[in-house]
Amino acid sequence: MAENKNLTAEQDYAQNFMPGVHKIGRFTMIVAFVLSYLPIAYFYFIKGYKAPGTMYISGLTAIAAIGFGMWISEPETYWPILGSAGTYIAYLSGNVGGMRFPVSMAVQKNVDADINTPRGQVATITGIVASVFANLVLLLITVLVGAWIISVLPANVVHAFSYCLVAMMGSMLLMRFTMGGKSVKENLMGNIPYMAWGIFAYFLSKMVPALANWKTLIAVGGALIIAYFIFLNDKKKLEAK
């Protein structure tokens, strides 16, 4: 214990915090996986609703065919901002792209810390947990009085909700271009290779319909490869100094 007290924040983060995150995260995900089958078990064993095994296999195959690319690409897409702990919490609570990801970017921007630092990791976890609590409160209000609220809103206000996604993406891009203590121009130039590849992946999926379900995976995978080569280039420059 005495040795642990002498650890720096970075050492404690790597040796104690992150292993604990993965231990708790894996356990909670396994519990959630098991609990997700409770409705099926209820209908099958208690209510007696049964179906041929081929129907379950067909349903699983159809879902897997559609979601396989997303299962790989989504964690890769969000992890660089959410971090390990944030990824576990986000995928357990849901609403990853619509709430957890923007909140994480906003928190990191406000504390001026990257997710790979102890400060950025703790701030991100705090922000995500707060967003989960806020979601629960807002969801409760929406369930109770949501229909009435929508009914009394002017038509133009209701129509404006269709622009929420665009506004959210714009705000995230702006935060991305102003992070890291660099100018907007520097951040923009640094992100051009990734944006160019994303545009290429989009049009590639349009030209080859078979790739439509894989466009996110292609965009993310290509961005990771680009980032790796940029990392190697930067590493060589540092070693040359």
Q: Domain boundary residue among 181, 205, 231?
A: 181
Q: Count the residues in the chain.
A: 241
Domain annotation covers residue 210: yes
Q: Which two tokens stand for residue 194?
A: 């990734």
Say if residue 158 is in the same domain as residue 84.
yes
Is 150 found in the same domain as 107? yes
Residue type, 198: G
Is the pLDDT reported for residue 180 higher than 70?
Answer: no
| Residue 207 and residue 155 in one domain | no
Q: Which pairs with CB-CB distance under 8 Å and at least 24 residues apart come from 22-29?
A: 22/84, 24/88, 25/84, 25/85, 25/87, 25/88, 28/88, 28/92, 29/88, 29/91, 29/92
Same domain, residue pair 156 and 212: no
Structural domain containing residue 137: 79-181
Total domains, the chain: 2
Same domain, 193 and 223: yes
Q: Domain check: are 94 and 159 in the same one?
A: yes
pTM for the full predicted model? 0.69
Residues 113 and 198 in one domain: no
Residue 89 sits in the same domain as residue 177:
yes
Output the pLDDT for position 1: 40
30-88 pLDDT, tens digit per residue, is 999 999 889 888 888 888 887 777 777 777 777 776 677 777 777 877 888 898 899 99
Q: For residue 161, what pLDDT band results from cuts at 50, 70 and 90?
A: confident
Write down the pLDDT at residue 23: 93
pLDDT higher than threshold 60 for residue 3? no
In a domain, 195, yes or no: yes
pLDDT for 183-204, tens place per residue? 778 878 888 898 899 899 889 9
Say what the pLDDT of residue 2 is.
42
The single-letter DSSP state of residue 210 is G
Residues 171 and 236 in one domain: no
